[in-house]
Homo-oligomer: A and B are copies of this chain.
Amino acid sequence: MTRPADPSPRPRTSLSRDRVLRAALALADRDGIESLSMRKLAEELGTKVMSLYYYVANKDDVLGGILELVIGEIELPPENPDWKAALRRSAISAHEALLRHRWALGVMMSPSRVGPARLRYMDSLLRCLREAGFSAYAAHRAYHALEGHITGFTLWQASLPIRKADVPNLVANFLERISVDKYPYIVEHMQVHLALLGQEGEGDFEFGLDLILDGLERIRVLEQPSG
Contact = CB atoms under 8 A, between A and B. Distances in A.
Interface of A: 105-106, 108-111, 114, 119-120, 122-123, 126-127, 130, 136-137, 139-141, 143-145, 147-153, 155-156, 158-161, 174, 178, 182-186, 188-189, 191-193, 196, 204, 207-208, 211-212, 214-216
Query: Which of A127, A139, A192, A196 counts the most chain B CB atoms within 10 A?
Result: A192
Contacts of A193: 140
- Copies per complex? 2
B144 A204 contact: yes
A170 to B, nearest CB: 8
Given A109-B106, A193-B140, A211-B216, A126 B188 contact: yes
The 3 closest A-B pairs by CB, nearest first: A152-B152, A148-B153, A126-B185
A186 B126 contact: yes
Contact of A215 (B126, B152, B212): B212
B149 A119 contact: no
Contacts of A122: 183, 185-186, 189
Nearest to A137: B192
Contacts of A155: 105, 108-109, 148, 151-152, 155
Contacts of A188: 126, 130, 136, 139
A192 B149 contact: no
Nearest to A135: B192
A155 B123 CA distance: 19
A64 to B, nearest CB: 13
Nearest to A120: B183
Contacts of A151: 151-152, 155-156
15 contacts: A105-B155, A106-B106, A119-B186, A120-B183, A123-B184, A136-B192, A140-B189, A140-B192, A141-B208, A145-B208, A147-B156, A148-B149, A208-B212, A212-B212, A214-B215
